[in-house]
Amino acid sequence: MGKLYDILTNGDSTVPPSADNFFSWATPGIPLGAEDLQFLTQGFTGVVTPAAVQGLLAAKGTGQPSSGAGSSASAPALSEADLEKLRAQDTAGLYQQSEFFARLVDFVPEVTQINNNHFAALTVMNNQGGLSEVYETVLKHSQVAHTDLTDDEKNKLAHFRSLLTATTQKTDLITGAVTQVTGPSPWCRRITTNGGLRCCGA
């Protein structure tokens, strides 16, 4: 593990070293399945899954749906209150997943041991709090440097902002009134379409 750590951080004959990386191993490993990270893709809005419907029907003693879980044949057996209960249960499970993942990654590795054990196993530094607490302390004691822009930089900034929006005339089809409408410019819409970015406006 020490050799692997040395290659990943210092590079070798084929891979250049990186100036800002760090690795620490959790031994034994912590297995995570795709279902453990469902909240990352689904969000926190609960849904009614076929497995949940099947389990609720079995608990009610109505048996399994004859044409498959989640089919239209099982719909009359569940009331709206039952469906809302299943959504709430799924939502609670998603929040539990996110809390577990947040606690799993919110730690500060201990790297001050003289026996290099941190190369092979994960040791947590408990006296400094969690990683989020360290960031909180850094932000509280940080100051934003104030730098005055040059005239050239101000002109460039104004030019780039002007590229994001465009003002056009819009004629009402019924009254014929002409109004000025400000919206995303063709350049901004082209970036949004091609690059998948959202235009932020002016």
Give the pLDDT mean for 61-74. 50
C-beta neighbour count of 47 within 10 angstroms: 12
User: Are 126 and 186 within one domain?
Assistant: no
Over residues 107-134, the pLDDT tens digits come to: 777 666 655 555 555 566 666 678 888 8
User: Are 35 and 116 within one domain?
Assistant: yes
> pLDDT tier at 64 (50, 70, 90 boundaries)?
low
| Structure confidence at residue 126 (pLDDT) | 61
- β-partners of residue 62 are none
- β-partners of residue 181 are 168
Above 70 in pLDDT, residue 71? no
* pTM: predicted TM-score of the whole model, two decimal places: 0.47
User: Are 26 and 94 within one domain?
Assistant: yes
For the chain, the first-to-last Cα distance in angstroms comes to 51
User: Are 52 and 10 within one domain?
Assistant: yes
User: Are 121 and 175 within one domain?
Assistant: no
Over residues 146-183, the pLDDT tens digits come to: 889 999 999 999 988 888 888 888 888 888 888 888 87
User: Are 136 and 167 within one domain?
Assistant: no
| Structure confidence at residue 132 (pLDDT) | 86
User: Are 83 and 37 within one domain?
Assistant: yes
User: Are 14 and 112 within one domain?
Assistant: yes
Is the CB of residue 2 less than 8 Å from the CB of residue 116?
yes
Q: Characterize 152-190 residue by residue with b for buried, 16 or more Cβ atoms within 10 angstroms of its Cβ, and e for exposed.
A: eeeeeeeeeeeeeeeeeeeeeeeeeeeeeeeebbeebee
Q: Please give the residue range of the domain that contains residue 179.
A: 155-195
Structurally, how many domains does the chain consist of? 2
CA 168 to chain centroid, in Å, comes to 37
Tell me whether residue 200 is in a domain: no
> pLDDT tier at 24 (50, 70, 90 boundaries)?
low
